[in-house]
Amino acid sequence: MLFRKMLRDLKSNIVQFTSIFIMIFLGIFIFTGMHAVGNGMDQSSKVFYKETNLANATIYGLDFTKEDVKQLESKDGVEKVERRFQTNASLENDTKTTIQLNIVESNAISSNHLVEGEAFQRSKDGIWLNSLFAKANSIKVGDSIKLYVQGQIMTKRVKGLIINPEYVYGVKDENEMIPDHNNYGYAFLSSQDIKFEIPFNQLIIVTDLDKKILEDIKLSLFKEKQSVLVMQEDYSSVRMFQNEINQMKAMETIFPIAFLLIAILTTLTTMTRITVNQRTLIGSLKALGFSNGKILRHYTSYGTFIGILGGVLGMTTGPIILPDIIFSFQKGFYTLPEWKGIIEPTVALIVFFCISCCGLSGFFACRMELQGVAADILRPKAPKINKHTKLEKSRWWNLMKFDYQWNIRDLLRNKLRCAVAIIGIFGCMSLIICAFGLRDTVHGITDTAYKNINTYDTKVGLSEKITQEKFLEIEKNGYRQFIQESAIEIDDNGEMVSLAMTVIGEGDYLKYKGIDDKSITLPNSGVAITNKIAKLYDLKINDQLKWRLYGTDKWFTSKIMRIIKNPVGQGIYISEDSYKNMNQIMVPTAMLTNEETSKFTQEEFSFVQSKDDLINNMDVMMETMNAMIALLISAAVILGVVVLYNLGVLSFNERIRELATLKVLGFQYTKLRKILQIQNIWITLLGTLLGVPGGYLLLNYMLKYMGDSFDLSVNISYFSYAFSIIGTLMLSIGVNRLLSRKLKKIDMVSALKGVE
Amino acid sequence: MKSYIEFKKVNKEYKLGKNRFLAVNNIDFTIGKGEFVVVLGPSGAGKSTVLNLLGGMDTVTSGTILVDGKDITSCSDRELTDYRATDVGFIFQFYNLIPSLTVRENVALVKEIVKSTLDVESVLESVGLNDHRFQFPTQLSGGEQQRVSIARAIFKNPKLLLCDEPTGALDSDTGVVILSLLQDMSRIEGRTVIIVTHNAILAEAADKVIKLKNGKVQEVIFNNNPIPVNEVNW
């Protein structure tokens, strides 16, 4: 019977309980959905890595022999080693493309996942091409493709389309943020299929040894060779994807908090009102012989019931719908054979906890009313004694208009309700600011990175085999700026950290700026580092940086002269002069120019990258991102509307008698609406003001998880601020209009008739 | 005496689900300016409905009500609100004060809607509440709260005071004080005061008694020698 009473009470408080339901639903929906995303990505990548036996480490070097493999395999803890030769090629008919060719002996380590066609076999002739590149360039299984490889043309039949675990995030270089499947791909060939002697330049290793031990083994085996060890977690693909997973996991908790907090607080305010209104009823139940426990359980059931409803619905839909949306965005960046949202059973515990909180708020509300014997409870509660606050004693209180006096007292007397409303608006505003800020920030990257810093149009890779004569010819052929991009290691208090170094030759295509946004020229001595690197390794101007070129033994100690702000391309920048002063000769690996990409088709160029393509890719990504932003904003609007409307109804119902009195006294409808509006506007203004820093911090938190290769600082335009503030205020006014329609429906006669 | 208020063939029908019932059935009566009128009748006779119609809180189903020559049954919602604001003072059985405003503020809030009001302090003085000005309604006794309600009603200097069971929630001693206060409003200040009650004893104090039964006027009694309320034998 009590269950039926509960259902009827729910019905008569439909607005409150609907809003609680929506909040719980959204909170749990986002929480379980984001959890499914983060966890699903984590699990799917692990399955992929395991299925394909992703190498635990790679040693880069030159001319590895069969003997090297045997020696390395004989070490304790090293399970398996394979040789690989990696080089760049391009399609013969489209030299803008870059295909990273992998010539492998068995493909037992970091093996391919087959998408279409035949699986890789060492004895088979042919090429296995990355499926996304194939699709973008309309290449099918069975087609013959012509490749430019090291100045020669190679014709191969496509045997299968594959994806490889080392290319989950596959980009040409550091400046490229989004994979461009049109222009960059990879392919695998069997070493048996190659007629010439292969200069294997990689050893891929399956092992469970850590970096230190492997480094020692490497040193002992390949003393006379230049070699570099890179661990799996430092593969750019693995690292980027891990960053992404961390980012998703960070959002899993931060976003639903607002919704669940509001749900719980709303339950508390609603249940308090219900139990206060049903005080005599509680007394009657007690008088009838219901035990305290039974009554408490009854009032606990309200929140629990709604909580279970919202929780179960959110938990069943969130992990299905949200991964779909997020993954469609992720697929632009990362390639996995399978994207699946997966939830851990522990999530149910957290959902259970939220439902319990809702139930408990009813429990506590009821317990307040249950104190004392039945006869006490049956008597109406002594009315709250009104006290004069300090404010009222001040001189200007009496100068205030009645609307203000009334609303201020109402707020002071309903602090919880007022706090919930402020938190709700705060959450709404934070989400909106964060959504717009995200857009501005990412927009800002394109501008800063591709318009302000890198002012060239085309970047051309120079092959290692370029001759001195060729080089001089290229130099003379137009305005070019040469750069050398190398990997280095820095000594971070004894720990080796690998970083990128760029030596910058004469020219003015690269325009760097400092943290204060002032232009910076690279000094003639010492080095410049990016702001992100400075923060990560706690470096300051005038600090000494100890570094060496990857795979060499010679340590340099350089003074840090400048700190550069760069959203992409973190690392160390040295001018050619400064590099010379260290007795080093710059070996250009790429050049920057304003000429068109089609000019650079000869073999001496290892790749060609057009900046327009980079910008276009960013724009495409922005479009997908707009969907996420729309999602964020809709969530924010729902939060705002639900909170304001719900609390508006609550306060309206509490004051209905007073409003009816005012109506009888002759207050016009517009005047009453204004009185009701004031309170909402105050709350909205306060929530909005708090929400501005809130949104800033939320965005900052999100950007922190973007990974080490990006240095994104919060960038929110004045327009976004203005738009968010005006939007939130409009929302508040709109909700108030909706509420004031109830004013017209107040029936003065029945509202004033009797006290219940 | 020229009639100040005139009810002409007034009907008020309520719908309760499928049933309709006439709360007020073809009522005619007049009230002169400055009269102290008591509307008597058992509960359900339609007394409160008459008062609500006269106060512009409810609208008639048919018929006309003239107040000072103005037909309030043809007023718009806005005009009715203005009418309530300027012409009518209400006094309810349950006071209907704003609990979050002090005594003084409860009275002064009328200033928000009416331009020409009396002086707050002197009105509070006249109902004997000067000492309680800064207290909240919940800190007062029932009689004191009803006085606040009277102060609020007369503050705007209305010609018409409508009282719905003003002593219904008070003990009889306090009730007498309140009623004589209301009688003075008519006798001394010349306002038209209409009191709805089921307490027949009050009839002796009224200028005119309108007896209602089942929504109809049963009888109108003119009292040529009304006695002061505090001399009525309670």
Tokens representing residue A718 in the block: 């004045």
Average pLDDT over residues A384-391: 64
Which of B85, B136, B138 shows the shortest C-beta gap to A666?
A: B85
Q: Does B84 contact A665 at a Cβ distance shorter than 8 Å?
A: yes
Q: Does B78 contact A668 at a Cβ distance shorter than 8 Å?
A: yes
Considering the four listed CATH numbers 3.40.50.2300, 3.40.50.2000, 3.40.50.300, 3.40.50.1220, the one that applies to the domain covering B3-226 is 3.40.50.300
Q: Does B100 contact A661 at a Cβ distance shorter than 8 Å?
A: no
In this structure, what DSSP letter does residue B205 have? G
Quick one: pLDDT at residue B65? 92
Residue of A nearest to B101 (CA): A406
Which of A413, A665, A666 shows the shortest C-beta gap to B100?
A: A413
Quick one: pLDDT at residue A382? 59
Q: Does B152 contact A401 at a Cβ distance shorter than 8 Å?
A: no
Quick one: pLDDT at residue A313? 93
Q: Report the C-alpha gap between A711 and A715 in whole angstroms.
A: 12
Q: Report the C-alpha gap between A256 and A264 in whole angstroms.
A: 12
Which of B52, B98, B110 shows the shortest C-beta gap to A749?
A: B52
Whether residue B30 contacts residue B65, with contact meaning beta carbons closer than 8 Å, is answered with: no
Whether residue A488 contacts residue A550, with contact meaning beta carbons closer than 8 Å, is answered with: yes
Interface test with B, best of A387, A418, A661 (most B CBs within 10 A): A661
Q: Does A402 contact B101 at a Cβ distance shorter than 8 Å?
A: yes
Whether residue B211 contacts residue B41, with contact meaning beta carbons closer than 8 Å, is answered with: yes
Contacts of A755 in chain B (CB under 8 A): 94
B1: pLDDT strictly greater than 60: no
Q: Report the C-alpha gap between B116 and A394 in whole angstroms.
A: 27
In this structure, what DSSP letter does residue A454 have? B
A663 touches chain B (CB under 8 A): yes
Q: Report the C-alpha gap between A658 and B137 in whole angstroms.
A: 13
CA distance, residue B1 to nearest chain A CA (Å): 29
Interface test with A, best of B84, B86, B112 (most A CBs within 10 A): B112
Q: What is the DSSP string of A271-310?
A: HHHHHHHTHHHHHHHHHTT--HHHHHHHHHHHHHHHHHHH
A457: pLDDT strictly greater than 50: yes
Does residue A621 or residue A633 have the better pLDDT?
Answer: A633
- R_g over Cα of chain B: 17
Alpha helices in A519-655 (DSSP H): 531-536, 576-581, 611-654
Q: Per DSSP, which regions of A481-586 are E strands? A: 481-492, 495-504, 512-514, 519-520, 527-530, 544-549, 556-565, 572-575
Quick one: pLDDT at residue A756? 39
Whether residue B5 contacts residue B65, with contact meaning beta carbons closer than 8 Å, is answered with: yes
Query: Please, what is the Cα angle at A11 between A9 and A16, to 5 degrees?
Result: 90
Q: Per DSSP, which regions of chain B are E strands? A: 3-16, 19-32, 36-40, 62-67, 70-71, 88-91, 160-164, 192-197, 208-213, 216-222
B62 touches chain A (CB under 8 A): no
Does residue A6 or residue A720 have the better pLDDT?
Answer: A720
Q: Report the C-alpha gap between A221 and A253 in whole angstroms.
A: 48
Span of A332-341, A607-616, B212-221 with lowest mean pLDDT: A607-616
Interface test with B, best of A389, A664, A678 (most B CBs within 10 A): A664
What b-and-e string marks burial along B81-108, b requiring 16 or more CB atoms within 10 Å of the CB?
A: bbbbbbbbbbbbbbbbbbbbbbbbbbbb
**Packed helices A669-704 and A718-745: angle between N→C axes, nearest 10 degrees:** 140
Whether residue A202 contacts residue A84, with contact meaning beta carbons closer than 8 Å, is answered with: yes
B83 touches chain A (CB under 8 A): yes
B99 touches chain A (CB under 8 A): yes
Q: Does A402 contact B105 at a Cβ distance shorter than 8 Å?
A: yes
- Which residues lie below 8 Å from residue A71, measured CB to CB, with a gap of 6+? A221
Residue of B nearest to A670 (CA): B78
Q: Is the ipTM of this complex over 0.90?
A: no
Quick one: pLDDT at residue A269? 82
Contacts of B92 in chain A (CB under 8 A): 752
Quick one: pLDDT at residue A235? 84
By three-state DSSP, how is residue B26 classified?
strand
Quick one: pLDDT at residue A372? 67
Whether residue A172 contacts residue A186, with contact meaning beta carbons closer than 8 Å, is answered with: no
Average pLDDT over residues B60-79: 89
pLDDT band at A693 (very low <50, low <70, confident <90, very high): very high
pLDDT tens-digit map of A192-217: 877 778 888 888 888 888 888 888 88
Span of A256-265, A688-697, B24-33 with lowest mean pLDDT: A256-265
Whether residue A217 contacts residue A72, with contact meaning beta carbons closer than 8 Å, is answered with: yes
Give the per-residue SS3 of A200-246: CCEEEEEECCCHHHHHHHHHHHCCCCCCEEEEHHHCHHHHHHHHHHH
Q: Does A405 contact B83 at a Cβ distance shorter than 8 Å?
A: no
Quick one: pLDDT at residue B84? 87
pLDDT tens-digit map of A299-321: 888 888 888 999 999 999 988 98
Interface test with A, best of B54, B78, B79, B81 (most A CBs within 10 A): B81
A401 touches chain B (CB under 8 A): yes
A654 touches chain B (CB under 8 A): no
**A201 alpha carbon, distance to own chain's centre:** 36
A172 touches chain B (CB under 8 A): no
B189 touches chain A (CB under 8 A): no
Contacts of A381 in chain B (CB under 8 A): none
Contacts of A406 in chain B (CB under 8 A): 98, 100-101, 109
B176 touches chain A (CB under 8 A): no
Average pLDDT over residues A430-441: 89
Interface test with B, best of A665, A671, A745, A752 (most B CBs within 10 A): A665
Does residue A527 or residue A470 have the better pLDDT?
Answer: A527
CA distance, residue A671 to nearest chain B CA (Å): 9
Contacts of A403 in chain B (CB under 8 A): 112
Q: Does B84 contact A383 at a Cβ distance shorter than 8 Å?
A: no
How many Cβ pairs within 8 Å bridge chains A and B?
86
Whether residue A170 contacts residue A183, with contact meaning beta carbons closer than 8 Å, is answered with: no
Does residue A285 or residue A548 have the better pLDDT?
Answer: A548
Contacts of B108 in chain A (CB under 8 A): 402
Alpha helices in chain B (DSSP H): 47-54, 77-86, 103-108, 120-126, 142-155, 172-187
Tally helices (H) and strands (E) across chain A.
Answer: 21, 21
Within a 10 A sphere around the Cβ of B141, how many other Cβ atoms? 12
Query: Please, what is the Cα angle at B116 between B111 and B118, to 5 degrees?
Result: 80
User: Which one-letter amino acid corresponds to residue A488?
Assistant: I
pLDDT tens-digit map of A700-710: 888 877 767 77
Which residues face A129 on adjacent strands?
Answer: A161, A187
Average pLDDT over residues A472-493: 84
Whether residue A230 contacts residue A202, with contact meaning beta carbons closer than 8 Å, is answered with: no
Query: Please, what is the Cα angle at B109 between A657 and A756, to 5 degrees?
Result: 15
Which of B81, B134, B139 shows the shortest C-beta gap to A666?
A: B81
A650: pLDDT strictly greater than 70: yes
Whole-number mean pLDDT of chain A? Answer: 84
